[in-house]
């Protein structure tokens, strides 16, 4: 697979403070890479470096095989970037703005109009194309921001927290749009929202305190996410002893009168047993939730694993 | 780069600011022009008898362009303040810096855009003295020299304003700083005029001192060089500043 973006040993120090250290990122054609981390982990700093807005202290960035630091002009042609705050001129109309962006990104006169038409259609901006950007809702402004990043059909699209500050419906629409963008471009997406990564990305990298902790496929992350416990609510609850007699259950935690959390060995899932017993013994099952770890838990788990492997 | 300049100019005209500036400065100068003209018509018969009396160009055109310079000094900060500072405040600078443009392209593009605006203003001002051609002969070469002076003055105003605008994210601060610096450079030769011979270098620094000969139709390469040096220096400083931001964050 051709690597469209490759960053090696990327690091950035702000005087004494180390913001990002030794991060390696690569992105293949047609891939969506999720860049996950809590606030302040160095996500935006990394995104800024990848987009050429911030020079790294050390490391190398290749976009489409062109060194971003040596030949910024020719490398940036292959890249579209949406920062955290979409960079828009509120006094222009959507169409004017996108035409300007197309020219900025060195589209030729012949291809400019068709490129702008196409991006307006793709981003669902047809109805608002003659309205001023300043009057649009935040969701539409975000769309214009994405349109700006893809108008010149770049190989790599870098989106920095594209759904922050939007309402749930807008978030869904923007995610849908990103999914569509991913059909034609390789995308790097930074976010602190885990479900977003699970929905959109093929591969995920987790960063915390400026260091890369985890880099694998989304499936591998899911196994990390899977906690070995299940929460169950039974209207006609049996005693704790009866529950612990179920095969595989190692511990029981009583949350409320009829709500329990059953812990089990990862290789020995008792859920099936639990359900069949609930039916035969008339426990009246109301709720059964497989616990998943939150992003913070996954971080903790991955951090702990890192520490453990260091000790070993 | 030219695209950026064009967009800059276009956005200027989308705001009422540009129209208001054009209209009001034109109105002010038209009033001054008419009062100069009126005065000239009054005393024309008296000075006609004097040999080598000042002509219409010295009496009307030169003072008009001198006044135009003052007005340009006042409005330039308003034009340049938003160039970079507003871009910063709206956080729209990444659009330009992540485009295939170098820092020099961005700065020069912005400079050309604002320069083009003042060029339009300058052309409108020049229409007034040119209208005298209908009823009188004017010294076109002296007018051209004065116009060149204003052109050079504008370019140094724009470069200074652009640099100061790149330092801050508050347009108002950029405007005040630009105005103060321009005004300081304007009056700095007053110290030089107060009788100290050793203060001559202060006069050399003055924007005004280099403009006066041009107004009288005296074209010295040193004066032209002064404005070119000022413009290039401040543009380089602005480019340096923008590039430095990328390096240090």
ipTM: 0.82
Give the separation between CA A131 and CA A118, rounded to whole angstroms: 18
Domain, as residue range, for B52:
2-248
pLDDT at A265: 75
Instruction: Name which of B97, B100, B246 is nearest A105 (Cβ-Cβ).
Output: B100
Instruction: Name which of B3, B92, B95 is nearest A103 (Cβ-Cβ).
Output: B3
- Which chain A residue has the Cα nearest residue B242? A53
pLDDT at B160: 93
The answer for A209, left when phi > 0, alpha when psi is -120 to 50, beta otherwise, is: left
Contact between A85 and B91 under an 8 Å Cβ cutoff? The reply is yes
Nearest-Cα distance to chain B for A147, in Å, is 12
Weakly modelled stretches of chain B, pLDDT under 50: none
Give the separation between CA B178 and CA A142, rounded to whole angstroms: 35
Instruction: Name which of B3, B96, B100 is nearest A77 (Cβ-Cβ).
Output: B100
Interface touch A104/B99, C-beta < 8 Å: yes
Closest CA to A263 of A245, A251, A247: A251
Give the separation between CA A284 and CA A278, rounded to whole angstroms: 6
- Which chain A residue has the Cα nearest residue B102? A73
Interface touch A89/B90, C-beta < 8 Å: yes
Interface touch A104/B90, C-beta < 8 Å: no
Instruction: Break chain B down into helix, strand, coil percent, rounded to 5.
Output: 85, 0, 15
Question: Edge-to-edge strands of the sheet including A211-217?
Answer: A79-82, A156-160, A186-191, A32-36, A203-208, A211-217
Give the separation between CA B219 and CA B210, rounded to whole angstroms: 10
pLDDT at A193: 80
Q: Which residues contact A264 (CB under 8 A, 6 or more apart)?
A: A228, A229, A230, A248, A249, A250, A270
- What are B's interface residues with A at a Cβ cutoff of 8 A? 3-4, 7, 11, 14-15, 90-102, 246-249
Contact between A89 and A133 under an 8 Å Cβ cutoff? The reply is yes
Contact between A47 and A188 under an 8 Å Cβ cutoff? The reply is yes
Interface touch B247/A55, C-beta < 8 Å: yes
Identify all chain A residues contacting B99, using CB atoms and an 8 Å cutoff.
Answer: 76, 101, 104-105
Q: Which residues contact B165 (CB under 8 A, 6 or more apart)?
A: B80, B81, B82, B83, B84, B85, B171, B174, B178
Identify all chain B residues contacting A53, using CB atoms and an 8 Å cutoff.
Answer: 94, 97-98, 246
Count the domains in chain B: 1
Question: How crowded is residue A216: how many other Cβ atoms within 10 Å of its Cβ?
Answer: 13
pLDDT at B31: 92
CB pairs under 8 A between A and B: 70
Domain boundary assignment for chain A:
3-209, 224-295
User: What number does CATH give the domain A3-209?
Assistant: 3.40.50.300
pLDDT at A310: 57
Identify all chain A residues contacting B3, using CB atoms and an 8 Å cutoff.
Answer: 100, 103-104
Q: What letter would DSSP give residue B50?
A: S
Question: How crowded is residue B14: how many other Cβ atoms within 10 Å of its Cβ?
Answer: 16
Instruction: Name which of A83, A89, A100 is nearest B94 (Cβ-Cβ).
Output: A83
Contacts 24+ apart (CB under 8 A), B180-186: B182/B73, B182/B76, B182/B77, B182/B157, B182/B207, B183/B73, B185/B160, B186/B73
CA atoms B148, B149, B154, B159: torsion sign: positive
pLDDT at B197: 56
pLDDT in tens, chain A (312 residues): 578 888 888 888 887 888 888 888 888 888 888 888 777 778 888 888 888 888 888 888 888 888 888 888 888 888 899 998 889 998 899 999 999 999 888 888 888 899 999 889 888 888 888 999 989 888 889 889 989 998 888 888 999 888 887 888 888 888 888 888 888 888 998 888 877 887 888 888 888 777 877 777 777 777 666 667 788 888 877 777 877 777 777 778 888 778 888 887 777 777 888 888 888 888 888 888 877 766 667 767 776 666 666 555
CA atoms B81, B82, B84, B89: torsion sign: positive
pLDDT at B235: 95
Contact between B174 and B161 under an 8 Å Cβ cutoff? The reply is yes
Instruction: Name which of A55, A81, A92 is nearest B98 (Cβ-Cβ).
Output: A81
- Which chain B residue has the Cα nearest residue A56? B247
R_g over Cα of chain A: 24
pLDDT at B199: 56
Identify all chain B residues contacting A16, using CB atoms and an 8 Å cutoff.
Answer: none
Interface touch A76/B100, C-beta < 8 Å: yes
Q: Which CATH class is domain A224-295?
A: alpha beta
């Amino acid at each position: 697979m051709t690597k469209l973006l490759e960053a090696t040993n990327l690091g950035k120090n702000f005087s004494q403070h180390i913001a990002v250290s030794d991060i390696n990122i690569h992105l293949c054609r047609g891939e969506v890479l999720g860049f996950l981390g809590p606030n302040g982990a160095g996500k935006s700093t990394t995104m800024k470096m990848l987009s050429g807005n911030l020079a790294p202290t050390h490391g190398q960035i290749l976009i489409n095989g062109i060194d971003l630091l040596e030949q910024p002009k020719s490398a940036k042609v292959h890249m579209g970037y949406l920062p955290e705050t979409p960079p828009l001129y509120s006094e222009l109309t959507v169409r004017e703005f996108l035409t300007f962006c197309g020219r900025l990104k060195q589209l030729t006169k012949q291809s400019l109009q068709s490129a702008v038409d196409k991006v307006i259609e793709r981003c669902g901006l047809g109805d608002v194309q003659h309205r001023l950007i300043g009057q649009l809702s935040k969701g539409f402004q975000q769309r214009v921001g994405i349109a700006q990043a893809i108008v010149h059909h770049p190989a790599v699209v870098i989106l920095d927290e594209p759904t922050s500050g939007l309402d749930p419906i807008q978030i869904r629409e923007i995610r849908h749009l990103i999914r569509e963008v991913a059909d034609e471009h390789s995308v790097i997406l930074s976010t602190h929202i885990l479900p977003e990564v699970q929905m959109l990305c093929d591969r995920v990298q987790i960063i915390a305190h400026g260091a890369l902790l985890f880099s694998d496929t989304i499936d591998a992350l899911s196994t990390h996410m899977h906690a070995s416990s299940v929460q169950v609510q039974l209207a006609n609850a049996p005693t704790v002893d009866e529950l612990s007699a179920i095969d595989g259950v190692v511990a029981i935690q009583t949350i409320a009168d009829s709500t329990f959390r059953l812990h089990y060995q990862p290789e020995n899932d008792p859920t099936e047993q639990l359900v069949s017993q609930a039916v035969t013994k008339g426990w009246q099952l109301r709720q059964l939730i497989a616990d998943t770890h939150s992003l913070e838990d996954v971080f903790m788990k991955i951090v702990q694993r890192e520490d453990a492997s260091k000790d070993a | 780069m030219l695209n950026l300049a064009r967009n800059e100019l276009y956005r200027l005209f989308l705001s009422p600011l540009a129209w208001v500036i054009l209209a009001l400065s034109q109105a002010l100068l038209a009033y001054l022009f008419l009062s100069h003209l009126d005065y000239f018509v009054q005393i024309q018969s008296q000075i006609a008898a004097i040999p080598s009396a000042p002509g219409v160009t010295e009496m009307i055109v030169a003072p008009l362009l001198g006044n135009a310079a003052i007005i340009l000094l006042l409005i330039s900060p308003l034009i340049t303040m938003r160039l970079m500072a507003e871009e910063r405040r709206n956080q729209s600078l990444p659009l330009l810096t992540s485009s295939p443009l170098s820092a020099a392209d961005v700065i020069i593009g912005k400079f050309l855009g604002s320069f083009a605006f003042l060029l339009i203003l300058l052309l409108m001002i020049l229409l007034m003295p040119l209208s005298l051609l209908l009823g009188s002969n004017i010294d076109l070469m002296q007018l051209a020299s004065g116009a060149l002076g204003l052109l050079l003055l504008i370019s140094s105003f724009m470069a200074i304003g652009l640099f100061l605008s790149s330092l801050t994210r508050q347009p108002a601060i950029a405007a005040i700083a630009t105005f103060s610096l321009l005004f300081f450079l304007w009056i700095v030769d007053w110290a030089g005029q107060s009788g100290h011979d050793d203060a001559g270098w202060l006069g050399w620094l003055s924007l005004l001192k280099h403009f006066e000969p041009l107004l009288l139709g005296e074209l010295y390469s040193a004066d032209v060089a002064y404005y070119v040096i000022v413009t290039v220096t401040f543009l380089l400083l602005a480019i340096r500043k923008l590039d430095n931001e990328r390096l240090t964050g």
